[in-house]
Amino acid sequence: MSGTRAVIAGIGHTEFSQNSGRSTLQLAAEASRAAIIDAGFSPDEVDGTVTFSMDTNDELALIRTIGVPMLRFCARTRGGGGGASATIQLAAAAVESGQADAVLVYRAFNERSAHRFGQPVQANPDPVWNWASPFSLNTPAKVYSLTFQRYMYEFGLTNEDFGRYTVVARDWASTNPNAQFFERPITLQDHQDSRWIVEPILRKLDCCLESDGGVALLITSAERAADHGADAVPILASSAIQLEGGHEMFAYYHEDLCEYPEGRVLGELLYRQAGITAEDIDVAMIYENFSPIVFLQLESFGFCGRGEASDFIKDGHIGRGGSLPVNTNGGLLGEGYIHGMNNIVEGVRQLRGASPNQISGVEHVLVSAGRSGIILGR
């Protein structure tokens, strides 16, 4: 490790809702300003930005809005939520290489009140959809279900098994005031009473919560963060995996359909970078557009064996008092779906000792977006 260690110095977010009632630029600006102030910085000290290629908030529009006079580093990570943790990797790379001193990472959208990702594609947005939408594979729920079905078939799972994840997520959300499902825990029966989206694979309560909102984080060096009095959390490892046979959503062409190959490679890289193993992770924040993706990630990151995630969850490992609390903010099903970025905020809070569902003695947090991930530590 060279002299400079990148840290997350500030976190900020708007409320997460079904209808923000304001522009996405305002959401981005509110979250960004909150993150900058949380770090003890002022906007004129920011000199870099990172967001998603899908984000509609232009960098120039944002810096004009929040009063950042100049950027010297500007990057976007490809694709959708799978790149959530890649934003931190890019920002950390900029800080550690000296390309920027203080990088603002942001993501904001009105994903419930405006364009909803869960709706059917109306025209093929990309040539790869030619191999799906003419055959009626036209929503994320259907696209992902085609891989989940094989997983269920091979390991003899039913939708109830997936429901046990949702029950845990909603339990965490029920005691998180930021969560859209605050004070609204559910039973497995409630889950089983929700309507089918793709029968017999996904019910409504297996799907993430399309949301309006914004999240921002400020990444800088450990030294600068200390100078500003920030409650900084070191980024111990970061990586983003793209495999030759991979596709953003259509994970149909790799050998073993019951494995998440990007996650396996990512886990190995992250643990090596951080000098730890899966056993050292105290809290795991795991991107979940749909509940079964948690199962595949628990297995690919080595928290349990192939096909064992269902029993791992049934045995109580990921809930309150469990050996590996997962998505302690309620996750994207319980807190809100800000494309995975709100899970990074919760990872920081766990290490600051500031989570509404604080786990004691947290030293290492994994924040996985499936194909990108970070390990935060103390």
DSSP 8-state class, residue 58: -
**Residue 281 in the binding site for another protein (CB under 8 A):** no
Q: Which is nearer to another protein, 62 or 132 (CB)?
A: 132
**Residue 289 in the binding site for another protein (CB under 8 A):** no
Residue ranges of alpha helices (H) inside the chain are 24-38, 59-66, 84-97, 140-155, 159-174, 188-193, 222-227, 261-274, 292-300, 309-314, 331-334, 341-352
Measured between alpha carbons, how far is 59 from 371 in angstroms, rounded to an integer? 25
**Residue 130 in the binding site for another protein (CB under 8 A):** yes
Residue 309 and residue 295 in contact, taking contact as beta carbons nearer than 8 Å: yes
**Residue 138 in the binding site for another protein (CB under 8 A):** yes
CB of 201 to another protein, least distance (A): 7
Q: Which one is catalytic: 151, 165, 271, 287?
A: 287
Other C-beta atoms within 10 Å of 275: how many?
A: 11
**Residue 256 in the binding site for another protein (CB under 8 A):** no
Among 54, 71, 226, 257, binds another protein (CB under 8 A): 257
Q: Which is nearer to another protein, 3 or 135 (CB)?
A: 135
Residue 287 bears catalytic tag: yes
CB of 46 to another protein, least distance (A): 40
**Residue 199 in the binding site for another protein (CB under 8 A):** yes
Stretch that binds another protein, among 121-129, 173-181, 329-337, 355-363 (CB under 8 A): 121-129
Identity of the amino acid at 32: S
**Residue 227 in the binding site for another protein (CB under 8 A):** no
Measured between alpha carbons, how far is 308 from 291 in angstroms, rounded to an integer? 15
Measured between alpha carbons, how far is 240 from 256 in angstroms, rounded to an integer? 21
CB of 237 to another protein, least distance (A): 29
Range 140-159, binding another protein (CB under 8 A): 142, 145-147, 149-150, 153
Residue 92 and residue 219 in contact, taking contact as beta carbons nearer than 8 Å: yes
Stretch that binds another protein, among 41-49, 126-134, 203-211, 268-276 (CB under 8 A): 126-134
**Residue 193 in the binding site for another protein (CB under 8 A):** no
Residue 337 bears catalytic tag: yes
**Residue 134 in the binding site for another protein (CB under 8 A):** yes
**Residue 215 in the binding site for another protein (CB under 8 A):** no
CB of 244 to another protein, least distance (A): 7
Residue 221 and residue 8 in contact, taking contact as beta carbons nearer than 8 Å: no
Measured between alpha carbons, how far is 93 from 242 in angstroms, rounded to an integer? 18
How would you classify the pairing of strands 212-221 and 6-13?
antiparallel
Does residue 356 have a cis peptide bond before it, meaning omega lies within 30 degrees of 0?
Answer: no
Stretch that binds another protein, among 71-79, 90-98, 136-144, 172-180 (CB under 8 A): 136-144
Q: Which one is catalytic: 106, 144, 271, 337?
A: 337
Q: Exposure string (b/e) for 191-230, b if CB count within 10 Å is 16 or more?
A: beebeebbeebbbebbbbbbbbbbbbbbbbbbebbeebeb
Identity of the amino acid at 322: G
Among 15, 33, 54, 131, binds another protein (CB under 8 A): 131
With a CB cutoff of 8 Å and minimum separation 6, the contacts of 144 are: 202, 249, 289, 290, 292, 293
Q: Which is nearer to another protein, 141 or 218 (CB)?
A: 141
Among 1, 21, 70, 127, binds another protein (CB under 8 A): 127
User: What residue ranges bind another protein (CB under 8 A)?
Assistant: 120, 123-124, 127-128, 130-139, 142, 145-147, 149-150, 153, 198-201, 244, 250, 252-253, 257
Residues catalogued as catalytic: 287, 337
